[in-house]
């Protein structure tokens, strides 16, 4: 695969350098062997580093043309003799470290131009805004009054940073992002089209019409958060909307007002989290799941894709379904329904 149109060519690395960078153990192979690229196991060729983490791809071990493979100990005995072996209990994370070292530009949103080009056609910065040294503002971006931007932060083309917004150091704010009523930590990545800090959906409803309730809270986004394209995060109504440290949010997620999300959560695409819901630390939410307002999901809980969470979820459990319940109960109920339907249709287990 030719990536050179968008990313620099892979810088050649010795196999022992790959081991050091990945944190893997070099079990078999010449430490001075040259690694000149990375590729999926079924597409890799001579000079490529590949990895094996998912058992679905184990069948490619015998036919891959890669030079070296990162794999878990359970697959080590299956690696053919001609394939150099780096062993890691977390091969995908080890591979990710190599990619981050080889392609740093691909880890975070990058600008549309160079720093010199930006200087010639820079965005609009209000005189009362405060920018530390090393802030890069691309063409068409607007930074409002009293805003504060930390050093090393990129403000992409067409982005809007609202009045008094604070953005920390080393952040990447991609093109066409809008941020208002928000305080952003350090090393936060916000991908194109994200909207942060707009009105929450709050109305005092009644037979004479629905009276809009002023939303006077903020959005607090802590350090090392990543937010995918076209996600929306409403500001709080009467308290803050909070995204905890290290949390990763996919594309097209809706987060309502007053939501509190803990540290190091993972929220997959098209999840909707209603107002005042609270997620603990290390919670994982599968794609297209809906979470009712005012529910609490405990630390470490996992919710399957396309579920609906109506009630509080205990810590450390796996739930799924509509409405969401313990995964074992959900799957058992699904099997019972399938068997009943097959009996009704006169089908046996072989049909």
Catalytic site positions:
257
Query: Tokens standing for 20?
Result: 């050091």
Map tokens 């995908």 to a residue. 92
> How far apart are alpha carbons 163 and 154 in whole angstroms?
18
Residues 6 or more apart whose Cβ sits within 8 Å of residue 182? 162, 165, 166, 196, 197, 218, 219, 220, 221, 235
> What does the alpha-carbon distance between residue 231 and residue 18 come to, in Å, rounded to a whole number?
35
- Do 155 and 113 touch, CB atoms closer than 8 A? no
Nearest to 178 by CA among 124, 222, 233: 233
Burial class of 205 by CB neighbour count within 10 A (0 to 12, 13 to 18, 19+) = exposed
CA distance 201 to 318: 30
């Amino acid at each position: 695969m030719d990536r050179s149109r968008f990313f620099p060519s892979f810088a050649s690395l010795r196999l022992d350098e790959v081991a050091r960078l990945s944190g893997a153990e070099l079990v078999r192979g010449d430490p001075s062997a040259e690694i000149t690229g990375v590729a999926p196991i079924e597409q890799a060729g001579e000079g490529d580093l590949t990895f094996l983490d998912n058992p679905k791809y184990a069948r490619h071990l015998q036919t891959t043309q890669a030079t070296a493979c990162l794999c878990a100990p359970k697959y080590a005995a299956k690696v053919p003799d001609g394939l150099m072996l780096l062993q890691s209990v977390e091969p995908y994370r080890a591979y990710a470290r190599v990619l981050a070292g080889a392609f740093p530009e691909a880890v975070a949103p990058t600008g549309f131009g160079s720093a010199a080009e930006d200087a010639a056609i820079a965005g609009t910065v209000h005189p009362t805004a405060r920018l530390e040294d090393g802030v890069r503002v691309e063409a068409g971006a607007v930074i409002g009054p009293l805003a504060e931007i930390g050093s090393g932060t990129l403000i992409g083309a067409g982005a809007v940073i609202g009045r008094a917004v604070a953005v920390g150091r080393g952040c990447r704010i991609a093109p066409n992002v809008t941020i208002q009523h928000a305080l952003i930590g350090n090393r936060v990545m916000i991908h194109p089209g994200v909207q942060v800090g707009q009105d929450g959906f709050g109305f005092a409803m009644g037979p004479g019409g629905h009276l809009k309730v002023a939303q006077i809270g903020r959005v607090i986004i802590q350090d090392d958060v990543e937010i995918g394209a076209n996600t929306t995060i409403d500001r709080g109504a009467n308290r803050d909307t909070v995204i905890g440290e290290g949390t990763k949010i996919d594309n097209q997620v809706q987060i309502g007002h007053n939501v509190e999300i803990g540290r190091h959560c993972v929220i997959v695409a098209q999840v909707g989290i209603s107002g005042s819901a609270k997620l603990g630390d290390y919670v994982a939410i599968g794609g297209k799941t809906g979470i009712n307002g005012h529910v609490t999901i405990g630390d470490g809980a996992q919710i399957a894709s396309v579920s609906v969470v109506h009630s509080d979820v205990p810590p450390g459990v796996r739930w799924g379904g509509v409405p969401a319940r313990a995964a074992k109960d959900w799957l058992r109920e699904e099997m019972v329904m399938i068997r009943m339907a097959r009996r009704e249709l006169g089908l046996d287990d072989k049909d």
